Structure 1
């Protein structure tokens, strides 16, 4: 069953969400006050509407409360972002995700009832920083302030060793939850699985433990 989404704010972040959801076959209503931006997404979104999201009567007329999930991707106007979130809560939207500009903005959003708050610029900055610090890091996803999932490329030092030989969980407190090998993905690999040079290890754990593993085993 298709889910129905609303994306409010069609800047780079909001626009990319509209395109991604549409590519996945989802129903998407795209909203912005800028008519040119709305016209840009008229052929991508299921519905593209010029509207003021801080006007409760406008949101009600669009039937926003009937959608599964509303993403507030308003750019630099923090006041509009907060007011829109308040309006969405008051009309009974089930799930609201909001883009935050800073930590203070996030605190306010959480207090007024946003279900999820994202920091796309900050999070992307952290991913890039991890990628450029180590040649072995392909991707990085923050799970919390202290835990992450990281894709690491296995080097010659790891090659030929099984997971039980390396005993990574006991020594470093991290878990290898999957291994990408060419076009294959080995999910929940067995202890006897032997690592090959070039394997992509999908690792989950505390940031401090992952960093310790990188420095000890992967950095050259």
Structure 2
């Protein structure tokens, strides 16, 4: 285990699994000032990332005593980044729930896997491959520059401005009535994003952020 830094409880995250998702997440958390204890049953992976993380340890996360020995119950945040081994993912998540970890994120490889993780107590479930596939599908439309589903059924997109919104105040476009969406913010060339109002006039080189129900956001994105 690498003890390069002492762990700050309020800025500490336990990451279980150092595959592509877990290692990328751990390194990004470090870049944002978090202290990361990452564990994996594979000694090679642990050795690979040990110097880059606050702590790294070879641990069988399905072993309750092993989790207790590394102080898992003391963490308020944990990420179960095990994806390919369904049983290990479920058992690890269940153990962390029983230990009282306040916020548990868990990676799932399918919606069925995700439902099981939620049923046993995971607070947030992520499906990286599914989410990326969905995001790319939206970006292929051409006008959508970024897509985020905030929760099931509600999304945000960053987009160029469709022709029917150009050069007139938003209040005159009836875009909310027609599409059920809200233009949240606008970015002029060379300027930061700012809030959009009913008086905002959009121009061809602007970028906009739009919020609404996913099906309505998708319908807006396809409109010309």
When the two structures are superposed, what TM-score results if normalisation uses the length of structure 2?
A: 0.90
Q: Which segments of 5 or more consecutive residues in structure 1 lack a partner in the other structure?
A: none
Match of 1:160 in 2: 167
Equivalent position to 1:213, from 198, 220, 223: 220
Residue 6 of structure 1: SS of its match in structure 2?
Answer: strand
Mapping of 1:9-28 within 5 angstroms?
Answer: 9-28=17-36
Q: Which segments of 5 or more consecutive residues in structure 2 lack a partner in the other structure?
A: 1-7
Match of 1:197 in 2: 204
Matched, 1:39 2:47: yes
8 Å CA contact 1:158–1:197 kept in 2: the answer is no
Match of 2:157 in 1: 150
8 Å CA contact 2:27–2:52 kept in 1: the answer is yes
Matched, 1:109 2:117: yes
Deviation of residue 199 (structure 1)? 1.6
Deviation of residue 156 (structure 1)? 4.8
Deviations, residues 55-102 of structure 1 (Å, cap 9, x unaligned): 111111111121221000013100000110111112211111110111
When the two structures are superposed, what TM-score results if normalisation uses the length of structure 1?
A: 0.92
Equivalent position to 2:77, from 69, 75, 94: 69
* C-alpha RMSD over aligned residues: 1.7
